[in-house]
Amino acid sequence: EPEVTQTPSHQVTQMGQEVILRCVPISNHLYFYWYRQILGQKVEFLVSFYNNEISEKSEIFDDQFSVERPDGSNFTLKIRSTKLEDSAMYFCASSEQGSDQPQHFGDGTRLSIL
Amino acid sequence: GEDVEQSLFLSVREGDSSVINCTYTDSSSTYLYWYKQEPGAGLQLLTYIFSNMDMKQDQRLTVLLNKKDKHLSLRIADTQTGDSAIYFCAEGNNAGNMLTFGGGTRLMVKP
């Protein structure tokens, strides 16, 4: 069964550095998403992406964050000037269409900011 | 804003049925989802139900939706030790593509 794949599985970064989290969505899917889960808290929506642009974003997704689909397969989340509170599990998801199709999630990238 | 709530913990014996409950506040929810998360793994889509349905059955899983009370439940029949995991309820609506998640219910299955 097709899967969403995320790399790396664990990223350790010094505070203030930039990180790029990578995702390969399911190949025929058109909508892409990033969520995060801070330890002990709920899974929170960050951003959705369709047709090479952001379709929706949450209050969390400020100027520190950006997303890109640099080629036909990858979908990336860039976090600039990382802070301690950016430490979380980041999940990528994709769906065939939008709100009427289920979102399939990857295994996540655990981001640890030191 | 939207809110989704779940109880934190459920313990059952192997072979019993498990019922995991969820309440939500957004009356415009169109789809409601159940995801399973095993230790160290991602969110595995288990099942989902459209808001105009009140029940969906898929093998050992039964989803019940009470739209009037905004209550969703997941019943797992003949619960196995491999069902031990965290189960997340999530709701989505036509206003956008984001899912709103509950905090997850940790299911422990005792042999």
**Contact of A13 with A88, CB cutoff 8 Å:** no
Question: Could you check whether the bond before residue B111 is cis, i.e. omega within 30 degrees of 0?
Answer: no
Q: What is the pLDDT of residue A71?
A: 87
Q: Residue A6's beta-bridge partner residues?
A: A23
Interchain CB distance below 8 Å, A56 and B48:
no
Interchain CB distance below 8 Å, B98 and A48:
yes
Q: How confident is the model at residue B29 (pLDDT cuts 50, 70, 90)?
A: confident
Contacts of A9 (CB under 8 A, 6+ apart): A107, A108, A109, A110
Q: How confident is the model at residue B26 (pLDDT cuts 50, 70, 90)?
A: confident
Any B CB within 8 A of A96 CB: no
Q: Which of A44, A58, A108 sits opposite B42 (nearest CB)?
A: A108
Q: What is the pLDDT of residue B1?
A: 63
Distance from CA of A97 to the nearest CA of B (A): 9
Structure tokens at A105: 């999630």
Any B CB within 8 A of A107 CB: yes
**Number of H-type helices and E-type strands within chain B:** 0, 11
A22 backbone dihedrals φ, ψ, rounded to 5° = -115, 150
Average pLDDT of the residues in A49-73: 92
Percent helix, strand, coil in chain A, to 5, is 5, 50, 45
A84 backbone dihedrals φ, ψ, rounded to 5° = -55, -40
